[in-house]
Structure 1
Amino acid sequence: MTMLTRSKQAIRSGRMMAAVVGVLLASVAVTPAHADTVRDRQWHLDAMQAKQMWKTSTGKGITVAVIDTGVQGNIPDLRGQVVAGKNYSRYPGNEQSDYDGHGTSMAVLIAGTGAKGQATGSYGLAPGAKILPIRIPDFIEHSRSDGNPDDFPTYMAKAIRYAADSDAQVINISQGNTARSPVLTDAVAYALSKGKLIFAAVGNTGGGLDELEYPAATPGVVGVGAIGKDLKATKESQHGPQVDLVAPGEDMIAACLESDSGVCESHGTSDATAVASGSAALIWSKHPAWTNNQVLRVMLNTASKPKNGKERTDYLGYGTVRPRIALTNPGDPGQADVYPLPDFKEAAASSSAGSSSASSKPGSEPSAAAAESTSGGTPTVWILTGAGVVVLAGGAVLGAMTVRRRRRAASVDLMHAAVPPVPGQASWPYGDRNYGGRP
């Protein structure tokens, strides 16, 4: 099952859905009471003390490869941020033409500059970083018999190998599929051998099937889950031994292509992965002589650990990314040539055994879900300055901000959300790969 691991409405040009799913109304029926700017509503930047971090590092000198639906490099908040990449899709345009909008929003969360203006400009965590877009086909292209027969693992492997041979240091993959493939495993190993650091979203079916998704569950990939403003793993964030780190992934505000205002609110492990990639860019920019292994080791060592005292849990992994701590007190980055997570080394050692199990990353510990909260896990403890009580309310200046949700079409104008539209069942969204009942 191929999916974008960001809960969103997948909208194509000319396919805007008018209906709103009733179950979402409670979450979006807010009364705009304050003239907040877009930046005011980017709570995760305040929680992570981005303004303070930017005095030390903005991610300058680091390039993040975004393997996704393309990146629209001409939107104001990304102008000058996007370099030439690669296109594997048959949709019109190239890698700087986004056929869905998902990849663009991921790029903005990583490297947005706020150039659209004081009121409506949105920032990424690493506004000094560059984006290298790699556009891959969506599941609709996979399902057609028009000479494009390659499956998700094949195209993902091609994209990873392209990124491995590029100037990018970080690879962001806010995509997932339940198909495990040695081709994908080999591509990840190749990228690590080229000094790359790979982050991938673990998926958004934590409250449902919770199946392993790849490449997040592929050895050598840092699987990223999502936490909310309560600092707990979100209910949708998948859990298991594939979770290595978590990052903010709730009520995320960023520039997008799906609304008239050009600003959207979303949630999901895709967003969290973009934040993790941005964190790595900040750290690597500050320490350009470090290797991928050292950057990751410092991220793991400085992560906010699960409150229950465990080194890791299946909901929070090794903890919440804290680039601010990594920038101010990184500690010993360790050996340059040793990958810090156990799964990659153990997978390589056991590959000759020919194991066919796809239940976990090889070498990872058994699931500890029974000992953790089924409502999202235990809260982490961030060292914040009041960030734990940030509440998003109002936002009149945002105009027609599109709220993007998973599975069903749900577009709503937040300016008029206090008077919700009549609930209706949306028709089949052609571009929504997240709908579980698709062919």
Structure 2
Amino acid sequence: MTLFRRVSLLTILASLLGSSIWLAPAATARDISEEQWYLGPMKAEEMWEVSTGEGVTVAVIDSGVKSSATLNGRLLPGEDLTDLPGDATDDYLPHGTSVAEVIAGTGKNGGVQGIAPGVKILPLRVKLATDEDDGWEDSGETSLEDAIRVAADSDARILNMSIGSVPTQALESAVDYAVSKGKLIFASTGNNGDEGNQPIFPASYANVVAVGAVNKNNRVAEYSQYGQTDLTAPGSDIPVWCDKDFTSYCMGDGTSIATAVASGSAALIWAEHPDWTANQVLRVMMETASKPADGSDYSTKLGYGTVRPRKVLLDGEGDPGDPNQHPLLKEEASPSPSAPTSAPPEEKPADNDDSKSDWVEVAEEDDGDDGPSTGLLIGGAVAAVLVVAAGVGFLVLRRR
């Protein structure tokens, strides 16, 4: 399940996208990148002077990735694992293409500007089921684990899975195989945080980086599922394709988008430090992420914080540490959905509206960035805003 959320504004969108996307009319194509509010606060232009992600390939396991103008020169041949017409560069939903553009779009012809515009995208098309209530998920007709294994055997360093499925031994085995091949895997936590959390896989596997969403108001999005979250990233009010005909952009919300931003952020870091392992890239991302305002290292909604690649690229922060130790796992343990194995943070009170572990850092007043305050992304703990509590519980099959 996952990925984008919607409010019923257009009938055609309802039939195409289910309940997992929030959509509203976006700006015209000529200024669509201006709607990407997070690029300025993340200091994207400055980061691109250091790294654009060039030399790094991200495998996008999704509904396919259409060769759009903004992805011109970014797409590799890929592989189709469905029985649908076309190939891996035919997107039967607007989902995979939207995800890929958030990662690697060049912004050409007024299109979406990716966080890592130098990245190559390896599209791996799987068949996703559409459901009016539950959104997109593995249809069961095509093996998601097969796509993971293809990615594991490819030159891709990062696997982006803005999709969800049920836990199976075959899926877990494929994830373990990819991790053993040195891949860094990001997956969406899901979008039912405001309706009651459910475990989502592969995000809930211990060696997969589960990504939740934050909005432009420095709050964890109400829809962002929590409990298994490792990192968060911008995921609300971001341009995505409205329909399968790719006629216009709409504003979308979802942990799918957040996962794409996290994957692109990792690519920026890895391109600048090509000798680092996946473990080291993830470790510095966790260390430099914006933390809860109470000073804790972890909260169930923010995870270890919101990604801030500029802290690594521009400020030189983050200790890569042991290249062989996965930062989410205990040394002696191996991942299992039924036996959480990562080193958990210290016990904290249950999350609620008054818990400071749900507050996030706000930018310093003299930071000088244009646009909305986004201290989750850019800086200091001088104030805080309250994260809206999402849901009332979550079955933890992961680490916490």
Instruction: With the length of structure 2 as denominator, give the TM-score of the two structures.
Output: 0.80
2:145 to 151, 157, 175: 157
Structure 2 residue identity aligned to 1:163: A
Offset, 1:379? 2.1
Aligned equivalent of 2:105: 112
SS at structure 2 position matched to 1:264: strand
Distance 1:361 1:316, change over 3 A: farther
Q: How does 1:35-434 map to 2 (within 5 A)?
A: 37-73=31-67, 75-116=68-109, 120-139=110-129, 151=140, 155-177=143-165, 179-240=166-227, 242-254=228-240, 257-258=243-244, 261-328=247-314, 329-342=316-329, 345=331, 347-348=333-334, 356=338, 364=344, 370-373=350-353, 377-381=358-362, 385-386=368-369, 389=372
Residues 368-419 of structure 1, C-alpha deviation per residue, up to 9 Å, x if partnerless? Answer: 573333899322345764357269xxxxxxxxxxxxxxxxxxxxxxxxxxxx
- Residues 254 and 28 of structure 1, relative CA distance in 2, 3 Å threshold: closer
Q: Which has the higher contact order (CA 8 A, sep 6+)?
A: 1
SS in 1 for 2:196: coil
SS of aligned partner of 1:284: helix
Ranges in structure 1 where 5+ consecutive residues have no aligned partner: 142-148, 392-439
Q: Give me the whole-angstrom Cα distance separating, in 2, the residues matched to 1:284 and 1:304.
A: 19
Taking the aligned partners of 2:96 and 2:268, their CA distance within structure 1 comes to: 20
Counterpart amino acid of 1:113?
T
Distance in 2, matches of 1:369 and 1:184, equals 33
**Cα RMSD between the aligned structures?**
3.5
Given that residues 285 and 318 in structure 2 are in contact (C-alpha distance below 8 angstroms), is that contact kept between their aligned partners in structure 1? no
Q: 1:374 to 1:263 in 2, by over 3 A?
A: farther
| Counterpart-to-counterpart distance in 1, 2:267 and 2:123 | 16
1:110 corresponds to which letter in structure 2? I
Q: 1:253 to 1:339 in 2, by over 3 A?
A: same
SS of residue in 2 equivalent to 1:161: helix
Structure 1 residues 43 and 378 mapped into 2: Cα distance closer, same or farther (>3 Å)? Answer: same
Cα displacement (A) at 1:184: 1.5
- In 2, Cα distance between the equivalents of 1:9 and 1:70? 24
Distance 1:235 1:17 in 2: 21
> Which letter does structure 1 place at the counterpart of 2:34?
D
Cα distance change on mapping 1:85 and 1:9 into 2, 3 Å: farther
CA 68–374 in structure 1, closer or farther in 2 if over 3 Å, else same: farther
Structure-1 separation of matches of 2:101 and 2:195: 29
Deviations 1:44-88 (A, max 9, x none): 111211011111110100110001000002x10111111011111
Q: Distance in 1 between matches of 2:284 and 2:145?
A: 27
TM-score if structure 1 supplies the norm length? 0.74
Equivalent residue pairs, number: 360
1:41–1:174 Cα change, 3 Å: same
What is the DSSP-based 3-state SS (H/G/I as helix, E as strand, rest coil) of the residue aligned with 1:279? helix
**Cα 1:379–1:68, aligned 2, differ >3 Å: closer, same or farther?**
same
Amino-acid identity (%): 43
SS at match of 2:31: coil
CA distance in 1 between counterparts of 2:157 and 2:79 reads 16
Q: Distance in 2 between matches of 1:68 and 1:18?
A: 19
In the alignment, structure 2 segments of 5+ residues that lack a partner are: 132-137, 375-400
Runs of 4+ in 1 over 6 A off after TM superposition: none
Q: 1:399 maps to which residue? A: none
For 1:431, the equivalent position in structure 2 comes to none
1:386 is aligned with what amino acid? D
SS at match of 2:64: coil
Deviations 1:227-268 (A, max 9, x none): 01111100000110x100000011012456557753221011
Give the secondary structure class of the aligned counterpart of 1:379.
strand
Q: Bigger radius of gyration, 1 or 2? A: 1
SS at 2:52's partner residue?
Answer: coil
Contact 1:101 1:256 (C-alpha < 8 Å) held by counterparts? yes
Residue 171 of structure 1 contacts residue 199 of structure 1 at CA under 8 Å; is this kept in 2? yes
